[in-house]
Structure 1
């Protein structure tokens, strides 16, 4: 079996040595070279033709983001970012994922030798997975033109209290590897009055807040990191915190976000299966589920539960996925009725949301 050829790019000699040693311990990986900055790396890429790069952010002569942007424009290839686990590191890493990086590995701020050794299995797995992906340049999305729509409330307020339970659309989305960029593509195309969207993305706790803030800046919807007890409202998207499961619950008067500090499910916390199961049980047929790019099978069974309850479900297709693990597992399970390329998903979610809810309710009665 051909080994994955890796070029390590980092301005720290210690980090270069540690990463090289960790990666070289895996028989499926070959470290073909190291580079102290992007200009040296550029020449070594031409000479060595690596399969995967590990890339630092703060380097002399050219920063990692500038190099990554140029690389994805001129010679797209799999890149795993090596980033510090800080607020600033989280912002920069999310930007790198937007530019085309496949994944990231968190660089500890102290005790490098012991911490890096503990993460050897993780970095090797990420590099081997990256070698199997198809690098994608940032997708430019044309936002949907949606005319403003007024309700009867603009003329006469409704007097009676609405029976919200079972009467409102809620969209649930799950994703993992490649998902931060896929979610951006979906949210960027959503109008400000879109149905509420609950999102579970596999992401560390330090990154979920900055990720939500970044999505809020690029979407016409209000996007936030979900809080326990927060009402679920139209025009809002709620992203699961990186350390807690996100659920949709009914509090007797309205749908609300619930955060649960239970154990990891499918080795993930937050878990897509937990979100989808809660939506299937609480929202039922009016719900819409979408499973995007990601490694593994988290979300496949939950999406099946949503479909069995009458919800409309779809998955991202293989060609547009960074990794077709989660959506592929759901498709093979029969959990989704449709499979679409990423740039068609937002429009289809809105189409499904506009369908009369009575139709969905009849489908399960």
Structure 2
């Protein structure tokens, strides 16, 4: 049976749009599917995805329920919806759902990361970028425990060192890196 293919999962909040742009711009067109939660109100996520699509080699779109997650594409959670990943054989699909907020957030990074633990597990490279609060920290620890590679942005380059700090304190971050080095590390880990 085919095991899970590689998957990249990214979470961010305050200061995240710029950090996400920097990471995505550093990635080549030949990358596994990328799923992204950025805390952002509805409406803004679509224009955010369109702007990134213009700026990056990777194709970027707002995730829709049932999307087949393709290599070379990044999928951004729509505002006010959770983005989750399901796997059937070697294929990933997006689930976009309006279930209860997690950590008072919808979309929530933990909701994404928890689904990724089940869908791609150790085949995941997870990244937690600048942001207030703790959303994503618990999920990142679960991913690391499941054998995934995990990267947290360092304090120096964060706008708000909240979510990454929580992940580091929980022991969820395998690597702690400045923003300009994150894309390179993702590529390196995917090649390993």
Question: 1:294 and 2:131 equivalent?
Answer: yes
Structure-to-structure mapping, 1:151-230, within 5 angstroms: 163-166=1-4, 168-230=5-67
**2:2–2:89 Cα contact (<8 Å) kept:** no
More RCO (CA 8 Å, sep 6+): 2
Question: 1:312 and 2:132 equivalent?
Answer: no
Deviation beyond 2 Å, 4+ runs, structure 1: none
The structure whose residues are more often strand, as a share, is 2
Deviations for 1:269-320, whole angstroms, at most 9, x for unmatched residues?
Answer: 0000000000011111111111000000000000011011110101000000
Number of residues paired by the alignment?
192
Question: 1:353 and 2:190 equivalent?
Answer: yes
| 2: CA distance, partners of 1:303 / 1:220 | 27
Question: 1:233 and 2:70 equivalent?
Answer: yes
Cα deviation for residue 195 of structure 1 reads 1.6
| 2: CA distance, partners of 1:204 / 1:310 | 32
2:115 alignment counterpart: 278
Cα deviation for residue 253 of structure 1 reads 5.8
Cα deviation for residue 350 of structure 1 reads 0.5
Decide which structure has the larger Cα Rg and report it: 1
**2:137–2:164 Cα contact (<8 Å) kept:** yes
TM-score (norm: length of structure 2): 0.97
- Cα distance, 1:308–1:339 mapped onto 2, change above 3 Å: same
Deviations for 1:228-249, whole angstroms, at most 9, x for unmatched residues?
Answer: 1111111000000001100010
Q: CA RMSD in A?
A: 1.0
| 2: CA distance, partners of 1:277 / 1:341 | 25
Question: 1:262 and 2:99 equivalent?
Answer: yes
| 1: CA distance, partners of 2:3 / 2:110 | 22
Cα deviation for residue 186 of structure 1 reads 0.5
Task: Give the secondary-structure state (helix, strand or coil) at the position aligned to 2:53.
Answer: helix
Task: Give the secondary-structure state (helix, strand or coil) at the position aligned to 1:276.
Answer: helix
Mark the runs of 5 or more structure 2 residues left unpaired by the alignment: none
| 2: CA distance, partners of 1:352 / 1:263 | 33
Deviations for 1:84-143, whole angstroms, at most 9, x for unmatched residues?
Answer: xxxxxxxxxxxxxxxxxxxxxxxxxxxxxxxxxxxxxxxxxxxxxxxxxxxxxxxxxxxx
- The partner residue of 1:331 within 168, 175, 190 is 168
Question: 1:342 and 2:179 equivalent?
Answer: yes
Cα deviation for residue 165 of structure 1 reads 3.6
1:362 alignment counterpart: none
1:117 alignment counterpart: none
| 2: CA distance, partners of 1:189 / 1:309 | 26
Task: Give the secondary-structure state (helix, strand or coil) at the position aligned to 1:205.
Answer: coil
